[in-house]
């Protein structure tokens, strides 16, 4: 059997052919970005944020698939440590939500003809609710985990500290992500999507051909790698199920692509096709990382998948593999930088009378700073920010879609703030209760209680007027 090292020198591991492929694919991506800049049809907000609502089915599938799958360094870390736990928590739990979104929610949200999720909340509830939603979106969509991912990848090329590598990656992406609008990002996503398909599939196929299938993995890996919960508790595993439901139903990137689609049918069918592609991607990354664990168990989990892939693949495919990893990260990093900076500029309106590039700069600095704080722990970033965002906003937003009477701005505001405070207290005192569950319960209870109180006051006021 082939011998694999626990670590590699990436610079010396790539052949001239690999470098050529990596340079060509990177150059092609930036050419497409420049093309997207020049294809801007008008300076309107709708064209900048939503590509004029002219996103066709092939472009929709490419951009949604690529944007939604940027956490490859995180999912391979989890799969390396926990096995198929990753496939369920980062895959299966999410597929159900995609189908519901495509069949139920797409038509509802597109009927409002808005540009952003905070604008939608403003129509449902009011200005206070929209402002609170924008603040939550800013922190949730800060691409911290993807900044860490690009930093980890750059570290394989340049021996620098993680925060330096992260700063380099985020700085480059910030330069192009905010100037060309969604159109430039979508066009670059097409190239990135193709690279992702080739790179992820190649590692999986070569692994099976060289070492065999499940029998090999069963013989080499701990039994818990084939258990749904891995080494985690059932409650922790189920948190990911609820996070999947809530994160999808109120995710700004999902909403942006659906708002930009040419029609309801384009968005719905596009999500369903993208789900099929994500299933294939999840199989490739989960089992690819499990092969890495079986063959280089002592490797650093943050780099193990790349370390394994580079040693497994032949010349040429190595370059495509690195290009695919880069494309996977960039496709989400640039989209989330774009959404977050525009949330500051258009929704929060902190820089209303200033250049939008100031919002981009603030967003980039915040991303780099928080990525340094979390010290490379991508799973912790996901769990914390997605938990807060989901628990505080899911209940009031979903109720807003299906209950159109007596919705009050202050009800949304109190629900979100009380949920946030309850979760913060749980996290600060490190209680035995999972803060996500506490946040959801407090959000639901506060919404129902305050909504009932508001409706009661309205009823009393109407009754008093009638008596007069």
- Minimal CA–CA distance to 192: which of 14, 316, 25, 31? 25
In which band, very low, low, confident or very high, does the pLDDT at 458 lie, cut at 50, 70 and 90? low
Q: Examine the pLDDT at 382 and tell me if it is beyond 90.
A: no
Asked whether the CA dihedral 54, 56, 61, 62 is positive or negative, the reply is negative
Q: What is the mean pLDDT of residues 96-123?
A: 89
- Does one domain contain both 447 and 319? no
Is 443 in the same domain as 308?
no
Residue 1 in any domain: the answer is no
The total number of structural domains that make up the chain: 2
In-domain check, residue 3: no
The residue among 146 and 57 whose pLDDT is bigger is: 57
Same domain for 97 and 183, yes or no, is yes
Do residues 409 and 390 both lie within one domain? no
Per-residue pLDDT tens over the stretch 244-280:
776 788 888 889 999 999 999 999 999 999 999 999 9
Is the pLDDT assigned to residue 42 strictly greater than 60?
Answer: no
CA 124, 186, 385 angle in degrees (round to 5)?
50
- What is the SS3 assignment for the chain? CCCCCCCCCHHHHCCHHHHHHHHHHHHHHHHHHHHHHHCCCCCCHHHHHHHHHCECHHHHHHHHHHHCCCCHHHHHHHHHHHCCHHHHHHHHHHHHHHHHHHHHHHHHHHCCCCCCHHHHHHHHCCHHHHHHHHHHHHHHHCCHHHHHHHHHHHHHHCCCCHHHHHHHHHHHHHHHHCCCHHHHHHHHHHHHHHHHHHHHHHHHHHHHHHHCCHHHHHHHCCHHHHCCCCCCCHHHHHHHHHHHHHHHHCCHHHHHHHHHECCHHHHHHHHHHHHHHHHHHHHHHHHHHHHHHHHCCCCCCCCHHHHHHHHHCCCCHHHHHHHHHHHHHHHHHHHHHHHHHHHHHHHHCCCCCCCHHHHHHHHHHHHHHHHHHHCCCHHHHHHHHHHHHHHHHHHHHHHHHHCCCCCCHHHHHHHHHHHHHHHHHHHHHCCCCCHHHHHHHHHHHHHHHHHHHHHHHHHHHHHHHHHC
Whether residue 334 is found in the same domain as residue 373: yes
**Are 58 and 111 found together in one domain?**
yes
Verify that 411 and 390 share a domain, yes or no: no
Decide if 118 is inside a domain. Answer: yes
What percentage of the chain has pLDDT greater than the value 70? 88
Greater pLDDT, 315 or 48: 315
Structural domain boundaries enclosing 127: 10-394
The distance from CA 287 to its chain's CA centroid, rounded to whole angstroms, is 21
Contact 110, 264 (CB under 8 A): yes
- pLDDT class for 239, splitting at 50, 70, 90? confident
State the chain's mean pLDDT as an integer. Answer: 83
| CATH number (domain holding residue 362) | 1.20.1730.10
Condensed to tens digits (0 to 9), the pLDDT of residues 391-413 reads 788 888 888 887 765 567 888 88
Distance CA(425)–CA(430), nearest Å, equals 8
């Amino acid at each position: 059997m082939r011998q694999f090292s626990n670590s590699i020198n990436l610079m010396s591991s790539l052949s001239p052919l690999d470098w050529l492929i990596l340079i060509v694919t990177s150059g092609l991506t930036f050419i497409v970005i420049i093309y997207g800049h020049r294809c801007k049809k008008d300076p309107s907000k709708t064209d900048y944020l939503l590509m004029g609502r002219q996103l066709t089915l092939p472009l929709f599938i490419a951009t949604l698939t690529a944007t939604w799958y940027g956490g490859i360094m995180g999912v391979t870390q989890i799969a390396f440590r926990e096995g198929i736990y990753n496939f369920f928590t980062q895959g299966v739990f999410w597929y159900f939500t995609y189908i519901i979104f495509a069949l139920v929610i797409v038509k509802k949200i597109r009927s409002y003809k808005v540009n952003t999720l905070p604008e939608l909340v403003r129509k449902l509830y009011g200005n206070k609710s929209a402002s609170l939603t924008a603040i939550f979106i800013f922190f949730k969509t800060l691409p911290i985990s993807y900044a860490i991912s690009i930093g980890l990848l750059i570290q394989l090329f340049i021996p620098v500290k993680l925060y330096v590598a992260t700063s380099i990656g985020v700085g480059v992406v910030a330069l192009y992500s905010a100037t060309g609008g969604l159109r430039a990002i979508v066009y670059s996503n097409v190239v990135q999507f193709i690279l992702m398909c080739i790179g992820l599939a190649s590692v999986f196929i070569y692994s099976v051909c060289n070492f065999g299938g499940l029998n090999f993995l069963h013989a080499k890996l701990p039994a818990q790698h084939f258990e749904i919960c891995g080494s985690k508790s059932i409650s922790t595993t189920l948190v990911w199920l609820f996070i999947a439901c809530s994160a999808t139903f109120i995710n700004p990137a999902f909403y942006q692509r659906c708002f930009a689609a040419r029609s309801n049918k384009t968005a719905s069918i596009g999500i369903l096709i993208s789900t099929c592609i994500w299933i294939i991607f999840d199989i490739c990354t989960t089992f690819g990382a499990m092969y890495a664990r079986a063959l280089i168990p002592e490797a650093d989990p943050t780099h193990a998948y790349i370390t394994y892939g580079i040693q497994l693949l032949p010349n040429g495919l190595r370059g495509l593999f690195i290009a695919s990893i880069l494309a996977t990260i960039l496709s989400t990093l640039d989209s989330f930088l774009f959404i977050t900076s525009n949330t500051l500029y258009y929704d929060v309106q902190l820089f209303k009378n200033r250049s939008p590039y100031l919002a981009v700069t603030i967003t980039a600095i915040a991303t780099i700073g928080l990525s340094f704080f979390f010290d490379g722990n991508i799973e912790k970033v996901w769990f914390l920010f997605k938990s807060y965002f989901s628990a505080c906003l899911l209940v009031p937003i979903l109720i807003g879609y299906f209950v159109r009477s007596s919705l009050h701005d202050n009800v949304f505001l109190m629900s979100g703030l009380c949920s946030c405070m309850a979760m913060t207290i749980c996290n600060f005192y490190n209680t035995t209760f999972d803060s996500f569950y506490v946040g959801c319960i407090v959000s639901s209870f506060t919404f129902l209680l305050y909504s009932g109180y508001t409706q009661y006051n309205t009823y009393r006021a109407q009754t008093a007027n009638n008596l007069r």
